[in-house]
Structure 1
């Protein structure tokens, strides 16, 4: 089996991209947990409010 050789710089870029994807997934999981916990505690009156809060948290963290 042959492996493609990539430069250390390319490997670093790939590793960084994977790390960023994992970080984003972790943040999204945390946001989902916070929103679900708030929903369970009946902090929101409607589903619309929950989705609005989730959108706002995502925009704040990812932008």
Structure 2
């Protein structure tokens, strides 16, 4: 899974992928973000299944 952030000009920043390989459950990561020029106006999350480095499928959801 990874965080996505959208700036005022609709530019999307794709954060690095975080792996969860232990099966179902809850994961949490501490992170901070700052963009003094455009700000973060919307956030999203992208979840995907991988086989090695190959993405098999994914889904994305946004919240404003």
TM-score, structure 1 length as denominator?
A: 0.24
Q: TM-score, normalised by structure 2?
A: 0.24
Higher helix proportion, which one?
1
